[in-house]
Copies of this chain bind each other. A is one copy, B any other.
Amino acid sequence: MSGRDRLIYLPLGGAGEIGMNAYVYGYGKPGKERLILVDLGIAFPDMDTTPGVDIIVPDITWLTENLNRLEAVFITHGHEDHVGGVGHLYPQIKKPIHCRAFTANLARRKLQEKGQDPKVVHTAPSFPQMIDAGPFKVGFLPVSHSIPESNALVIDSPAGRIIHTGDFKIDRSPVVGQPFSDDLWAEAARPGVRALVCDSTNVFSKNEGRSEAEVAPNLKPLVQSATGMFVATTFASNVARLQSLAIAGEAAGRSICLMGRAMRRMTEAAREEGILTDFPKTISPEEAADIPRENLMLIVTGSQGERRAASAQLSRGKYFGMELKEGDTFLFSSKTIPGNEKEVARIMNNLSELGVDVVTDDDGLYHVSGHANRPDLEFMHNLTQPQIVVPMHGEHRHLREHAKVADAGGRIGIVAPNGTMIDLAGNEPRVVDHVETGRTYLDGSALVGQFDGVVRDRIRMALNGHVVVAVMVDDDNEILEDTWVDIRGLPEQVRGSASLADIMEEHLAGQLARVNTRTANDDEALEGLIVKGVRKVAQDEIGKRPEVTVLITRLSAE
């Protein structure tokens, strides 16, 4: 191993997936690099792969094993996939957290919710001011996205400058917050950029991205023409959109009521940080109940069909005294994130049954993306002129495509999925290590490892059902006749009316009557025999192979 100082990049999450961003940078002698962590986000579970799980955080074992090398944490912006892990993982890290004011406001709330000290979060100034962190100097370079105060990071090391874009789009009229500043970015790029570590989400979108400002002019006539109640849902963190919606509502003579916890938290944080200055007055749901529906606009959470969010609740019936009906309008000022299609459709169908007119963004009128499209990525490459482009924030296919875009522009594009440690200090980026990465599940209040078998067992029970057998063995190694079978998640009755549990008990009784003393004395052998017997009956009767739990109780003479 060379003794030369390395400049390493190591994604622990976010590279090879969209979600739970966590990127490590390091500088120093091999294996002794001083480290910083950029972002600490979460991902959301689904029934297919993570039933029952509450949220997913990156497995940061590598980081905790190298904690003495970690200088600080930098959070680019306030989306859950970037800041959401702070509350859950801070206790394992305990290093200063740097972010801009709005993100800091959100991060502090998260720490407080978990009983942690919010003072560990430091409000950072913006580039060209820089923060010292070991061998690094880090600057927060403002960039447009779909939440206030998003930032790229300018990361200076003795081996050169890295720009880590965070999530971004090129928006020169973002409605809320600073427009994308070509001048500021040119200034950041001027000393030369060794590597651009760059958002890849929309690399497959071929047209130039559109500005947030394009939405408002379409919202106004829509709200104006609505007759009944007007409800709009969007991403709660898209404060600019909330403002455009509220202004359109106010212009149409409607009172604005925000519904849903995230909606209130975001606007509260934005107000506290002085970001929401032009936002119309809002009323509470209680006040809204007294206002004629044609004079009311609800802005609600749940654009992704989340079962407990306001949209879903309203689609199912009364919610905080509100009830939708024929003649009302419901706008999805959002796109459906892949994987949420069925949940969103369920809400739309519920609304349809209520007679509510649903308006979506099918024609691109009522939503714009927060991420840079392919031409915008090319623009970014050209603006910053990096030697190396490291695509991040994307599934493997996004990273690969983005690397191709970089190559086509005459730069070095490198695909480095989670766990790939690359050294950016040499002439060419070089893979120097592979690190175990993965997902940790927050399940209730417990952290569960991806490979602990907990979720695997849940999935198996869901697919196959669960049969429980209780068997007793007396102190002479005789199996008692009272073997009990209980089934869950399998049909109780088979062949018309016979009880599946009874058939299993009968089969086991016959089987166990023939068991010799040695087997009866051997838990493992006895369990194996019973599992096999249960599965045989299940296969014969219902064509399934259930999960089986066997409880063997050995009675001892007292």
Contacts and interface: CB of A to CB of B under 8 A. Distances in A.
A490 B461 CA distance: 12
Nearest to A551: B470
Interface in A312-364: 338-339, 341-342, 345, 348-349, 351-353, 358, 362-363
Given A342-B339, A454-B491, A352 B465 contact: no
Nearest to A494: B446
A446 B342 contact: no
Interface stretch (A45-53, A260-268, A283-291, A423-431): A45-53
A443 interface: yes
A553 B443 contact: no
A523 interface: no
B544 A443 contact: yes
Contacts of A491: 443, 446, 448, 452, 454
A494 B454 CA distance: 13
A204 interface: yes
A482 interface: yes
Contacts of A348: 395, 397
A149 interface: no
Interface string A16-36: 100000000000000000000
A51 B546 CA distance: 13
B465 A466 contact: no
A69 interface: no
A553 B470 contact: yes
A400 interface: yes
A463 B52 contact: yes
Interface in A508-544: 538, 541-544
A338 B554 CA distance: 53
List the 10 shortest-distance A-B pairs measured between CB atoms, nearest first: A444-B543, A445-B543, A462-B462, A444-B544, A51-B462, A458-B489, A352-B397, A338-B341, A52-B463, A461-B461
Contact of A549 (B459, B488, B494, B542): B488
Interface string A476-511: 000010101010111110100000000000000000
A461 B489 contact: yes
A171 interface: no
A470 to B, nearest CB: 4
Contacts of A494: 446
Contacts of A362: 204
Chain multiplicity (copies) = 2
Contact of A51 (B444, B445, B455, B463): B463
Interface size range of chain A in the complex: 35 or more
A75 B497 CA distance: 33
Interface in A82-112: none
Interface string A117-152: 000000000000000000000000000000000000
A369 interface: no
Contact of A488 (B204, B466, B480): B466
A468 interface: yes
A128 B445 CA distance: 68
A250 interface: no
Contacts of A468: 468, 486, 549, 551
A61 B47 CA distance: 31
A470 B480 CA distance: 15
A47 B464 CA distance: 12
A497 to B, nearest CB: 13
A551 B471 CA distance: 10
A46 B397 CA distance: 25
Contact of A358 (B397, B464, B482): B397
A213 interface: no
Contacts of A358: 397
Given A395-B349, A444-B544, A489 B454 contact: yes
A342 B349 contact: no
A210 interface: no
A553 B484 contact: yes
Contacts of A395: 345, 348-349, 352
A352 B396 contact: yes
Contacts of A412: none
A314 to B, nearest CB: 16
Given A445-B542, A457-B488, A553-B553, 15 more contacts: A47-B47, A52-B463, A352-B399, A443-B544, A446-B544, A454-B490, A455-B489, A458-B465, A461-B462, A461-B489, A466-B466, A468-B468, A472-B553, A482-B554, A551-B551
A39 interface: no
Interface string A194-211: 000000000010100000
A454 B538 CA distance: 14
A167 interface: no
